[in-house]
Amino acid sequence: MLPTELLQEGEHLMTVCNACRYCEGYCAVWQTMESRLVFVESDLNYLANLCHNCGECFYSCQYSPPHEFNINPPKTLAKIRLYTYGLYAWPGPLAKAFCKNGLLVSLLAAAVLIAFLLAASLALGSRLWEPVRGGDFYQIIPHSVMALTFSVVGSFSALALLIGFLRFWRDSGESYSTLANPVALFRAAKDVLSLKNLDNDGAGCSYPREKSSEALRWFHHATFYGFLSCLVATTLGAIYYYVFGWHGPPGFLSLPVIFGTVGGIGLVIGPIGLFVLLRRRNREIVDENQSGMDLAFIVLLLLISISGLLLLLLRQSAAMGTLLVVHLGFVMTLFLTMPYGKFVHGIYRSGALLKWALERSRQSENKAKA
C-alpha cells in the first residue's frame, strides 16, 4: 500500500489536474489521466511509471508552489514511482537496502565479485599479471569461472527483472495474455526507442521551462544505445569464439570491437551528461530519495565503460589481466543490481508505454463500434 500521505498527494494531484487539463498535450500521463474519473492506487502507480520527469508540466502550472494547491506532478509522480520500485522488486528486502545506500551496496558488491574472480582465477592457475599471448580472455579467467559466475548472476538478474515486470503488469490491471498484442507491442517499442515524451518542447507554454529537457533526452539516448551497442559487441564476441572458433582478440576493425568502442563512448558521454544535468536540475521537482539510486547507476556505467575502453587499449600489456577482472566485476555488479536500481525505470516505463498503447487501441475500437 502507498503510504497514506503519498496516496492523498497523488489523489489531490489527479483531482486538480483532471479538472484543469491544461497539460493534456504534454505527454502520455495527461492523456491517460483524462480517460479516468477515479484514481485508485494502481492507477497512480501506472501513471507514475508513464512519467519521464521532464518537468515541463511543472513550469506550465498555475497551481505549482507557492500556490496553495501545491501541484508538482514531476515530484509527486517520482515519489510514487520510487515506491513502486520496492513494491514490484523481487526479493523485496534487497530493493530496500539498495534504495537507501545504492552507491555503497554497488561498490561493496563490485569488491566482492572482483575478489571472487581474482581468487578463483589464481586458484585455477591463471597468470594474471603477465601479458597474454594472443589476448585470449580465457587464459586469464578460466572458462569454468566465467561461465559459472555469468550464468548465476545473469539468471538471477533476468528472473528478478521478469518477476518485477509481471508484478507491474498485474498491478496495472492487465492480464498476461494482453502482453501478446503485436500492434501494441510495435507502438510501445517505437515509443521506447524514440524516448517519447522526453523531447517535450513545451509547446504552448509561456512559463519558464526546464531548458535541459532536450539535452536530457540526448544523454538518455547515448546511455541507452551505448548499453545496447555493448550488448551487441559481447554477443558477437561470443559468436566469434564459440561458433567460429576464433580465439584471438578481434581486430580493431572487427564488428565486436567497433560496437564495443561506440557503446563504450556512448556510456561515457551519456552518464556524464546525465550526472551534470542531475546536479543542475531544479531541486523543486526532484525527489531527493532517488539521488543515491541515480548516482549508483551513473557511477557503475562509467566504471564499466572506462574499464572496458582501457581494456581495449591495453589488451596486449601486462595490465590486461587485472583490467579484465575489474571490468567483469563491474559488469556483473550492474547485472546483479539491475532489478533494484535505476535500470528498472526503463523496464516499468516500457511496460507503462505498452499498456498505454493497448488502451489507445481499445479506445479506437470502441469509437469504431460506436
Q: Give the footprint of ligand SF4 on this chain (CB under 6 A).
A: 16-17, 20-23, 26-27, 29, 51-57, 60-63, 71, 73-74, 77, 197, 200
Q: CB of residue 293 vs ligand SF4: minimum separation in angstroms? A: 18
User: Which residue type does 189 have?
Assistant: A
Provide φ and ψ at 125, rounded to 5°. 90, 15
Q: How far apart are the C-alpha atoms of 285 and 19, rounded to whole Å?
A: 22
Maximum Cα–Cα distance for the chain, whole Å? 75
Cβ at position 343, least distance to ligand SF4 in Å: 19
Nearer to ligand SF4, 21 or 190 (CB): 21
CB of 209 to ligand SF4, least distance (A): 10
Question: 32 or 106, CB closer to ligand SF4?
Answer: 32
Residue 129 vs 207, nearer CB to ligand SF4? 207
For residue 34, the minimal CB distance to ligand SF4 (Å) is 10
Residue 349 CB, nearest distance to ligand SF4 (Å)? 10
In the complex, least distance from residue 130 CB atom to ligand SF4, rounded to whole angstroms:
53
Distance in Å, CB of 238 to ligand SF4, minimum: 37
49: left (phi over 0), alpha (psi -120 to 50) or beta: alpha
Are 260 and 233 within 8 A, CB to CB?
yes
Q: Write down the least CB distance from residue 228 to ligand SF4, Å.
A: 23
C-alpha cell at position 285 = 521537482
Q: b/e string for 345-360 if b means 16 or more Cβ within 10 A? A: bebbbbbbbbbbbbbb
Taking alpha carbons only, the member of 31, 15, 35 closest to residue 23 is 31
How far is the C-alpha of 273 from the C-alpha of 267, rounded, in Å?
10
Please return the burial class of 62, using the count of CB atoms within 10 Å of its CB with bins 0-12, 13-18 and 19+.
Answer: exposed
Nearer to ligand SF4, 55 or 250 (CB): 55
Give whichever of 13 and 153 is closer to ligand SF4, judged by the CB atom.
Answer: 13
Cβ closest to ligand SF4, residue 23 vs residue 331: 23
Query: 169: buried, middle or exposed (CB in 10 Å: 19+, 13-18, 0-12)?
Result: buried
Look up cell 567497433; give the residue: 258
By beta-carbon proximity to ligand SF4, the closer residue of 327 and 345 is 345
Closest CA to 123 of 144, 104, 137, 107: 144
Contact 351, 169 (CB under 8 A): yes
Query: Between 130 and 284, whose beta carbon lies closer to ligand SF4?
Result: 284
